[in-house]
Amino acid sequence: MRVLQVSAELVPYAKTGGLGDVTGALPDALRALDVDLRLLVPGYPAVCEALQQAVPLRTLSLPWGGSVRLLRGQLPGFEGRPSYVLEAPALFHRPGTPYANPDGTLFPDNFWRFAALSYAAAQLGLGWDGAWWPAVVHAHDWHTGLTPAYLTHARGQSLGTARSVFTVHNLAYQGLFPAEVYPQLGLPPDGFAMEGVEFHGQVGFMKAALHHADAITTVSPTYAKEIQTPAWGCGLDGLLRRRAAQVHGVLNGVDPRVWRPASDPHLACGYTVDDLAGKTVCKTDLQRSLGLSMQTDAPLYGVVSRLVSQKGMDLVLAGLDALLVGGAQLVVLGQGDATLEAGFEAAAQAHPARVALMRGMDEGLAHRVMAGADVVLVPSLFEPCGLTQMYALAYGSLPLVRRVGGLADTVADCSLENLVDARATGIVFERFDLVDYTQALRRVRTLWSDPAAWRRVQQVAMAQRHGWDLAAQAYAALYRSVLQ
């Protein structure tokens, strides 16, 4: 079965969050199931520099003017299968993130940048590479949302048009652009309608995908249900309810080759579920390197996250005094909202031995925080899947999460019943408010006061398996179903 995966991010070449992790890990898991999967990614500088054995395939004239070139070659890390790179220096050779300047300002031409990516994906789905023709195009998130629309409108012209699967990683980011750009897209005039690409008078990339895709997936079963409600559907819940039969929740996985404390090269000392001594070494190493007081008798809380309200970072900041009770410490790694960054910076200055802030994202340091922390905070307002809590489970760092989205699907609360049944893996709270959050912190302290119980929960957490094999099986079955 031939499948083309198209995405705006791909670890290790471009990453702003979980999207890059998912698209980087899924190909190998699918390959193990004999899925002939190839990648299409934008030609960012890191991608073009890494591409080996590059062969120019074709030059594509874009409906709105200009042209881009498609390269086929080998990307290190994905050897054994050709990858496609959309070479367009004017669109993709820029400093900053895939979407914004270094100062965080979104690129004003993101519409054209990712419309070009979608158009190229659809052309490959129409057999643009004569030597390889995908049966399914799997598009990820709003950046590729026009791909299913292009494929749908091409079916009347080509019997060999690929089917489409679209994965929603976060419905809150929809790719909305002014209506006046629609006539230049190369889509039929009647496609700009409520039953099509139009969303409240704008061009909606996400809306286009949800209307046109042959199958829709989200990154956890709970999130698949949540987005069909007015509370979490971001205005698209009605469309999603109408297409409920095509909506599937497939829980993300984590790569055990990358997130494995026994062999993690970033750690001061490896450890396993049967020998946790190395975790204490990792904690003291983290404390020492960040200038925190060297103590092991109180919990160390870790945050590895975008510093935004969606991730519950305002709760963490507002509840800082409750967190620091009893000598606890907090390590924060991330960047985002300027007000939240300033708040954590002020906390670090006020409590230099107990609070540390590292702005930005450092992969090695993220691993060290996962290993050195006793508790990892993921108190999200909403969370489509979340990978952080699964990393925390693998490293025996108990996740403190809100019962929402993928967090609800992956973390079992340390209730009395779950403790007795050896099912507890973390601390879960319900309402997104300071009272519920600080009560969860109290429950951490209660569990911490019983070292034997804490260790048992750690061991159950580390025994969980969230590899990509189950997700890959679900995706492979979905590909087969859309081909039927």
- In this prediction, residue 21 carries a pLDDT of 87
pLDDT band at 158 (very low <50, low <70, confident <90, very high): low
Let me know: does 356 contact 331? Beta carbons within 8 Å.
yes
- In this prediction, residue 159 carries a pLDDT of 57
Measured distance CA(227)–CA(212) in Å, rounded: 17
At residue 356, the 3 state secondary structure works out as strand
283 a known binding residue?
no
The two three-digit tokens of residue 274, written as one number: 């049967």
| Model pLDDT for residues 300-313, shown as the tens digit of each residue | 999 999 999 999 99
DSSP state of 381: S
Measured distance CA(10)–CA(43) in Å, rounded: 11
At residue 313, the 3 state secondary structure works out as helix
pLDDT band at 79 (very low <50, low <70, confident <90, very high): confident
Helices and strands per DSSP (H, E), number in the chain: 19, 18
| Model pLDDT for residues 439-451, shown as the tens digit of each residue | 999 999 999 999 9
Indicate the angle between helix axes 363-372 and 277-290, nearest 10 degrees: 120
- In this prediction, residue 467 carries a pLDDT of 87
| Model pLDDT for residues 110-137, shown as the tens digit of each residue | 999 999 999 999 999 999 998 999 999 9
In the numeric block, the tokens 């006046």 are attached to 180
pLDDT at 156 over 70: no
Averaged pLDDT, 151-171: 87
Class of domain 277-462: alpha beta
Measured distance CA(441)–CA(411) in Å, rounded: 16
pLDDT band at 18 (very low <50, low <70, confident <90, very high): confident
Residues paired with 307 in a beta bridge: 336
Q: What is the mean pLDDT of the chain?
A: 95
Measured distance CA(354)–CA(327) in Å, rounded: 8
Let me know: does 326 contact 287? Beta carbons within 8 Å.
no
Class of domain 2-253+468-483: alpha beta
| Model pLDDT for residues 174-207, shown as the tens digit of each residue | 999 999 999 999 999 999 999 999 999 999 999 9
Measured distance CA(9)–CA(254) in Å, rounded: 16
Among 380, 402, 376, residue whose Cα is nearest residue 388: 376
pLDDT at 296 over 70: yes
CATH 3.40.50.2000 residue ranges for the chain: 2-253+468-483, 277-462
Averaged pLDDT, 40-61: 95
